[in-house]
Chain A
Amino acid sequence: MLVPERGGAVVPVTVVLCVNGERHEFEIDPLERLADVLRDRIGLVGTKVGCGEGACGACAVLLDGRAVASCLLAVGSAAGHRIETIEGLSRDGLTPLQEAFIAADALQCGFCTPGQIVAATGLLRAEPAPTRAAVRQAMSGNICRCGCYPKIEQAILSCSGGDG
């Protein structure tokens, strides 16, 4: 592969993560990607790794409420922050936003959908009634190769004014 796997090159340190309200402690290379730690160590595989360089948004998680690319975030940098993944958002069942995605048929293959939901959740928490332009702007870091953009936009707008 062109890009080598990260990890193993840095002296392990104790890293404590707060993920979906739960505490996780690791002896770990602090430069390992948060996305890999979530998936491989904690088993939260809803977070996807698409491009691995921040361009596609499939790996989006909320860091203190803001959507970020977990493939670019070193796990040592994520320590001390509140991390929410797609599993945490839907712990109590599907959220209104997820229901809206289903109702609008806003996905085909579904690979990008967790990242789309996470980014949209970040938007709706900060701005409960966004304009169409604001939705497009906020979602511009999330790529959908199936091309579901109009339905994604429709789903988010249908939740506008709700709690996301």
Chain B
Amino acid sequence: MSTFCRPTTLADALAALAEPGSRVLAGGTDLSGLIDRGLASPTTVIDVQDAGLDRIERCGAGVRIGATATLATVAVSDLLTRWTALREAAAAAASPLLRNVATVGGNLCQHTRCWYYRGVEWTCWLGGGDTCFAQIGEHERHGLQPGDCISAHPSDLAPALIVSDATVVVASATGIREQPVAALYRRPDVDDRSLLTLGPDEVITHVVLPAPPDASVYLREGQREAFSFPLVGLAVARFGERLVMAAAGVANIPHLLDPDDVLHDLPGNPQSAWKRTVLATLASRGRTAVTM
């Protein structure tokens, strides 16, 4: 039997998280599905909604966003008007019903929507098995980057934060560290199938945005406009003459693109090659949008 708690301070949450097998619950929109499907079996569920991590506040020339700020809040925050890509990404994720509870931290840490990974009938390579069923099955919505797992990264926020040069503050009972958002993610290998660099006792407490880009935009293609995950989600930011592009949906982690060769290292295959066309098109539109 597992247990449930709702700590009212970060310190209490971190102490609970130090116990092996515990897991953080924020909006619950992803974790509840993972528990339902047996992809998560926490011994303790730590609901952090009361831990005081939901504020959005100025921080120097930038903004600091608490990890439990909801996507709905981020999408309309007056403090974030100069981070267009981030607001657009938050407004594009899921649906209004989910955005009212889904959080920034949870969106960054959500698991892939790969139907083989999520299916209860199989244990795929990413789930600890020995076969990436997507590669021998249906993978028209999967990633374009070759590897042991070709799932597609599902977070709209991650590319928007990466092109904004954002960092995440990560805390555990033993300390705090800050790292670029991109460093939250890792390509899985045979010894460690995790797509995140967070330790089991760590939680994201804040996202920190430095000074805003001169212009930014988030463009995406989903199956439909609402409640769809990004088949291709592209964030573009411009700092002076410098363009930065990052995408969701094209690799199993957020993918930093070379603005002069956006398809580099993303060969795809016959089923998923259509995403290359979409990515190239969005990159062209994004470049125009931030340089006009």
Decide if B47 touches A11 in the complex (CB within 8 Å): no
Task: State which residues 25-69 of B face A: CB under 8 Å.
Answer: 25, 28-29, 32-33, 35-38, 45, 47, 49
Q: Which residues of B contact A53 (CB under 8 A)?
A: 33
Least CB distance from B246 to A in Å reads 25
* A141 and B97 form a contact (CB under 8 A): yes
B97 with A60: CB separation less than 8 A: yes
A35 vs chain B, min Cβ distance (A): 11
For the complex, give the distance between the alpha carbons of A127 and B220 in Å: 27
Asked if B292 CB lies within 8 Å of chain A CBs, one says: no
Chain B: residues with Cβ within 8 Å of the partner, total of 30
Q: What number of A-B contacts does a CB cutoff of 8 Å give? A: 100
Do B226 and A140 touch (CB < 8 A)? yes
Residue A9 is within 8 A (CB to CB) of chain B in the complex? yes
B25 touches A68 (CB 8 A): no
B-facing mask of A1-16, CB < 8 A → 1, else 0?
Answer: 0111010011101000
Number of A interface residues in the complex (CB < 8 A): 35
CB distance from B226 to the nearest CB of A (A): 3
The answer to whether B35 touches A140 (Cβ under 8 A) is no
Say whether A3 contacts B47, CB under 8 Å. Answer: no
Residues of B within 8 A of A (CB): 1-4, 6, 25, 28-29, 32-33, 35-38, 45, 47, 49, 72, 94-98, 100-101, 120-121, 225-227
Where the two chains meet, the residues of A that have a C-beta atom closer than 8 Å to any C-beta of B are: 2-4, 6, 9-11, 13, 30-31, 33, 52-55, 57, 60, 63, 66-69, 72-74, 76-77, 79, 119, 137-142
